[in-house]
Amino acid sequence: MQQITITTPDDWHLHFRDGEMLNETVPATARCFARAIVMPNLVPPVTTAKMALDYKQRILAAAPKGSGFEPLMTLFLTNQTSVQDIADAKQAGVVAAKLYPAGATTNSAQAVSGIEAMYPVFAEMEKQGLLLLIHGEVTQTHIDIFDREKLFIDQYMTKIVAAFPNLKVVFEHITTQDAAEFVAESSDKVAATITPQHLLLNRNDLLVGGVKPHNYCLPVLKRGTHQQALRKAVATGSSKFFLGTDSAPHAKHAKESACGCAGCYSAWSALELYTQVFDDLDALDKLEGFASLHGADFYGLPRNTGTVTLVKESWQVPDSVSLASGEPIVPFFAGQTVNWKIV
């Protein structure tokens, strides 16, 4: 197949950041995605409905005129989040709340410690119809970083979905065979997003031949066997798995440092790279469901009505992109060839 047209897709997990970053990240996403679930881990984090609405306006101000792009806002859960905060968020049009275990990833120091203490909040989310988005890793320092997702499933995820059977839960950016199997075997209230980097890469791509900081993300890349399990999961066409890039920009100097930041800025190539994966898997007929349909259906939102066409044509991801200030950002797959291109 040399060309494919799909319903306009959505990105069900990404980071826009704030300030001058928005003028880069929002247009990069709006070029092909109609909507995006916006992560709330700013500094300070988006913990109230008013903060979410204010952030939404900053995003919309950076969107290309006439694009119709719609940011879907989320709340950052802390141990101070109240039942009233959830009710207010729902009233304001916030669609989900994000659970980060404290210290799990960028700007998560103020996140949740003691997950069981959040059960009254989860109960209110279940009542209000607000989705729970989970970064599923334990964060105790003695736990091997490659085991943290599986242990989170065993210690917390199974209990949450059992205690709140009507709460819609998205297991974000899954990275392991364990997570893929857990989601596949759970009820229809449980789904997962999968990133391009976890479909394309494994930990060899991070560590062999020297550390490659621009492939460093959290959850960290895993063994090739886990990568293959994720590829197998999306190739089934199961509605439980859908597109979430986890596109996460950082300035080049912040990635290439003694304590490099976690995150892959994939907005400029993500849809094309997903298409390449599905083509490699001989599963292009499953791409539209993954990219455009399953996420909207799970969130209970209407499917988009437009279309996007991609052609099988090689192009090269730029080595860097620059903010207005001149600050460079190295995009995911920088300098590499992608086999599919948006018309």
Residue stretches of the annotated binding site for Zn(2+)? 13, 15, 98, 135, 173, 246
Polymer length in residues for the chain:
343
Q: What does the H/E/C string look like for the chain?
A: CCEEEEECCCEEEECCCCHHHHHHHHHHHHCCCCEEEECCCCCCCCCCHHHHHHHHHHHHHHCCCCCCCEEEEEEECCCCCCHHHHHHHHHCCCCEEEECECCCCCCCCCCECCHHHHHHHHHHHHHHCCEEEECCCCCCCCCCHHHHHHHHHHHHHHHHHHHCCCCCEEECCCCCHHHHHHHHHCCCCEEEEECHHHHHCCCHHHHCCCCCHHHCCCCCCCCHHHHHHHHHHHHCCCCCEEECCCECCCCHHHHCCCCCCCCECCCCCHHHHHHHHHHHCCCHHHHHHHHHHHHHHHHCCCCCCCEEEEEEEEEECCCCEECCCCCEECCCCCCCEEEEEEC
Q: Which residues are annotated as a binding site for substrate?
A: 15-17, 41, 135, 218, 250, 262
Q: Which structure tokens are listed for 164?
A: 């709140």
Our CA angle for 273, 56, 325, nearest 5°, is 70
54: annotated active-site residue? no
Q: Which residues are annotated as a binding site?
A: 13, 15-17, 41, 98, 135, 173, 218, 246, 250, 262
Active-site residue, from 54, 154, 246, 319? 246
Which residues participate in catalysis according to the annotation? 246
